[in-house]
Structure 1
Amino acid sequence: MKKIIFLILLVVPLAVFSQQLKIVKGTINDSLAIKGEGGDAETFSLYLPSNFNMSQAWPVLFLFDMQGSSRAVLSMFSSAAEKEGYILASSNDLKDTLSLSQNVLIANRMLNTVYDMIPIHKERVYVGGIGDGGRFATLVPTFIKDIKGVLSCGAALANTEVLTRKNMFYFIGIAGRSDYNYRELQESKKVLDNLKFPNLLLFFEGGHQWAPVDETAIALRSFTLSEMAKGTVPRNDSLVNEYYQNSLIRANELLSNDKPLLAENVLDNATQVYNPFGDLDSLKTSKKILRRSKTYRSKKRLQENFFLKETLTKEDYGYYLEEDILTYNYNNLGWWNFQMSELDKMDKSGNEFEKRMASRLRGFLNALISDNLNIIATDKQVDLEALNFLYQLKTITEPKNPENYLKVISYSALVEDFGTGIFYLEELLKTGYDNIEELYGLENTALFRITPEFNAIVYKYLKNARYKSIEEQ
């Protein structure tokens, strides 16, 4: 009986607001209908913290995923939102295949739907996302008014040219030090600093991924403290002091774990966030001690050295990739294979900065190839040969992704280059791929898949083939 009463308490406050809408607090509510012209078939997910009520205005973070995976996105932020008292919402209909204007309209309809449903604090409206979703979020304040902040995970500013002091927002970027966007975020900070945009960068040990809950909670707390400093939100000394003390503790823990550069990042951010509230002497003293240490100076120097090497290598990647695409330079695939083997060696290096650089370079190259694939695929006259070259290259840079092999096999069958098709078929099966239905349903392979050579290779690895060769009979 107690459990039934508790569930009613969770649902009733919003059930009163809309007889047809029942939303549970403290969990993700999916497939909620979007209101507004053009949004009849659109849906979104919503998260309300457990202490939500309709009698006060709430901060909201609208999260964007360019595959429309709203539930997955909210699940990554729900713990931080629960802790910091934020509402979360995310559309199921954003797609990277849609135009920017179409995605902005979808996002705007979601925002307006949430505004109509729930009491939102209009000075505490934020947007965010990871990767392409984060990059899209940095553009939203240009098109939708009253966005006060952007939280971007693993993505830098999409376009610095559209930034203006007349439409400023608080930018918080989060990235792993092995993320290929790590360096780009650092460059974004320089631009934002020059334009006097408030901004923070939160770094953690990891790659291109959702940030740990602690980092996302710090980001939301930073938004809250920023509004306290402006007077938009009543000052809460308990929250302010907790942030200050936790920052000192985190910095000391990182330093004791031989991570002085991450400790510096924590202290720099704490100095900026805490500055409007009180005395900074302890933070300044900690930073001075840190920067005078031999460990800090040594690691800072090493990091800068590898940053330089990384920049030069990225320039090489960009130059050779452009040349290879223009000339369909299949002969240079061996050079690219060598580059990947060099990165594999760096992955095993005892030097932490070299290992991170290898991860960033691999991510950068794959992103660069994907960008070129998207550009070529959307041309009025699609260059199939260039696409084929890039997919062959991706079998080298992303050898565990079956899509790349399948694309090459399909194109090879289309141009009746069965020798190349057989080679990539075997390379695909060597990875452990076993989706025989997909293989025999592959586009353009109607003639290719009935050949004895095709079926012999399939039988060799899967012990099954749709068409048996003479030898097997």
Structure 2
Amino acid sequence: MKKILPLILLVLPLTIFSQEVKIAKGTINDSLTIKGEPNEYFSLYLPTNFSMTRAWPVLFLFDMKGESRNTMAMFTNAAEREGYILAGSNNLKDSLSLSQNVLIANRMINTIYEMLPVHKERIYVGGIGDGGRFATLMPTFIKDIKGVLSCGAAIANTEVLTRKNTFYFIGIAGRSDYNYRELLESKVILDNLKFPNLLLFFEGEHQWAPIDESAFALRSFTLSEMAKGTIPRNDSLINDYFESSLIRANELLSNDKPLLAENVLDNAIQVYYPFGDLDSLKTSKKVLRRSKTYRSKKRNQGNFFLKETLTKEDYGYYLEEDVLTYNYNNLGWWNFQMSELDKMDKSGNEFERRMASRLRGFLNALISDSINIIATDKQVDLEALNFLYQLKTITEPRNPENYLKVISYSALVEDYGTGIFYLEELLKTGYNNKEELYGLENTALFRISPEFNAVVAKYLKDARYGPVEKN
């Protein structure tokens, strides 16, 4: 049974709620109101052992679609294990300016400060993808932030970093994430700047990290503060970290993952350095790097990194050219590229499979960025957008939005042949939202045509405007 804490008992001066609000420990509390902003809301998670008698670390999680609950749900287990409060705004949007989003986030942070006993030396921010990138900018505007936890995204702008305002950057990514290599490259920059940082890698794509990795990141923040003397030293916690790191490295090595084992040992050496003897960790790393398996996989990874770099350059060049010239004739070439990636997905070489996944993610991100840039121009180039959405039906064939955009544009310019083709391609994917289909923008005349309804009837059994004669 969850313990319920009346908020009015936690913070008596708090007057932003029109009625008594109860905060449940051990679960996500939705739609809490930001102080002074009745139309701004946030979500909050308190560990089950939370009390008002001591100061707590807080991880503020950012989601640029305002879906804080979904983001926080991926961290609750780690926060419970490591003793962190979680909070996230429901009002951040990628359509807003940076300054607007920073002000929204700052109001949420200040509200938490007034509500709860927060440890001001243990304030952290984080997110995945765009949310992670936004989090990396927050220390520039809010000086209290001591660390950033970014999943699947590197620091947004390394040029604004200064040694006068350092923070602890922890990046987490799957080795098949298209931002994996960007994180590797950013580490070189951060190391040169003497900026404290840690990279945690796992097997996966562009996704939230497993619970163990998330908990490991929060534990690293905690140990960093112990090393600085901000909080008391806890030898039990330190020893547990040391032993679990060795166990994890050995498990990865036994599962033929020496590069991930090296990552674990590198991180352990860095985090454990202020607390004790590193001989066993360093010895384990030396033995690992001398093994034939390690050297072979390191070389193999490097070869595919080079191939990946060249392929990404090709993608960037041809995409720019095709958009400028509306080169629909080159869609066949792009289709061939996707078929090549599909073949790599089935490769017996693990590094080739990961490269294929990263390239696919990179290309989709590149196309999405191009769409966002064009769509926000004062004079929107609809033909360029149409080309990009047609391309996305090739690179992201299971996403109905791309087909719907092409059908809508085709109807707008009365290119009904193209519209019928993409309508059928959409329905072949299993799409069956008839309500959305018949409400599609620009299709008032198109959707009552016999051709449109014949295709709908073929895949969805009946059409709205019929009957359709059967052969």
| TM-score of the aligned structures, taking structure 2 as reference length | 0.97
- In structure 2, the partner of 1:80 is 78
How does 1:295-334 map onto structure 2 within 5 Å?
295-334=293-332
Contact 2:367 2:388 (C-alpha < 8 Å) held by counterparts: yes
Distance 1:112 1:188 in 2: 31
How does 1:213-252 map onto structure 2 within 5 Å?
213-252=211-250
Distance 1:119 1:467 in 2: 62
- In structure 2, the partner of 1:373 is 371
SS at match of 1:150: strand
Distance 2:6 2:340 in 1: 60
Establish whether residue 123 from structure 1 lines up as the match of residue 121 from structure 2: yes
- In structure 2, the partner of 1:49 is 47
Alignment RMSD (CA, Å): 1.2
SS at match of 2:24: coil
Q: CA deviation at 1:12?
A: 4.9
Distance 1:14 1:89 in 2: 19
- In structure 2, the partner of 1:284 is 282
- In structure 1, the partner of 2:399 is 401
Contact 1:15 1:23 (C-alpha < 8 Å) held by counterparts: no
C-alpha change, 1:453 and 1:439, in structure 2 (3 Å) is same
- In structure 1, the partner of 2:27 is 27
Establish whether residue 11 from structure 1 lines up as the match of residue 9 from structure 2: no
Contact 1:63 1:128 (C-alpha < 8 Å) held by counterparts: yes
Q: CA deviation at 1:20?
A: 2.3
Contact 2:151 2:171 (C-alpha < 8 Å) held by counterparts: yes
1:209-249 CA-to-partner distances (Å, cap 9, x unmatched) read 01000000000000000000000010000000100000000
How does 1:387-398 map onto structure 2 within 5 Å?
387-398=385-396
Distance 1:212 1:178 in 2: 14
Q: CA deviation at 1:472?
A: 4.3
Establish whether residue 142 from structure 1 lines up as the match of residue 140 from structure 2: yes
SS at match of 2:149: strand
SS at match of 1:234: coil
Q: CA deviation at 1:15?
A: 3.2
Contact 1:14 1:23 (C-alpha < 8 Å) held by counterparts: no
Which stretches in structure 1 are left out of the alignment for 5+ residues?
none
Distance 1:16 1:320 in 2: 59
Structure 1 counterpart of 2:182, from 158, 161, 184: 184
1:257-304 CA-to-partner distances (Å, cap 9, x unmatched) read 000000000000000000000100000000000000000000000000
Distance 2:287 2:468 in 1: 77
1:46-71 CA-to-partner distances (Å, cap 9, x unmatched) read 01111111111110000000111111
Distance 1:74 1:408 in 2: 35
Q: CA deviation at 1:469?
A: 5.6
- In structure 2, the partner of 1:261 is 259
C-alpha change, 1:16 and 1:208, in structure 2 (3 Å) is closer
Equivalent pairs counted in the alignment come to 465
Which stretches in structure 2 are left out of the alignment for 5+ residues?
13-18
Distance 2:407 2:142 in 1: 44
Give the aligned residue type for 2:116: I
Spell out structure 1 runs of 4+ moving beyond 6 A. none
Contact 1:303 1:353 (C-alpha < 8 Å) held by counterparts: yes
How does 1:433-472 map onto structure 2 within 5 Å?
433-468=431-466, 471-472=469-470
How does 1:197-212 map onto structure 2 within 5 Å?
197-212=195-210
Distance 2:326 2:6 in 1: 63
Q: CA deviation at 1:471?
A: 2.9
Contact 1:63 1:89 (C-alpha < 8 Å) held by counterparts: yes
1:117-164 CA-to-partner distances (Å, cap 9, x unmatched) read 001111100000001100100011111121100000011111111111
- In structure 1, the partner of 2:337 is 339
Contact 2:407 2:419 (C-alpha < 8 Å) held by counterparts: yes
Contact 2:174 2:201 (C-alpha < 8 Å) held by counterparts: yes
1:14-36 CA-to-partner distances (Å, cap 9, x unmatched) read 63434823211111111100013
C-alpha change, 1:166 and 1:399, in structure 2 (3 Å) is same
Distance 1:435 1:15 in 2: 48
SS at match of 1:89: strand
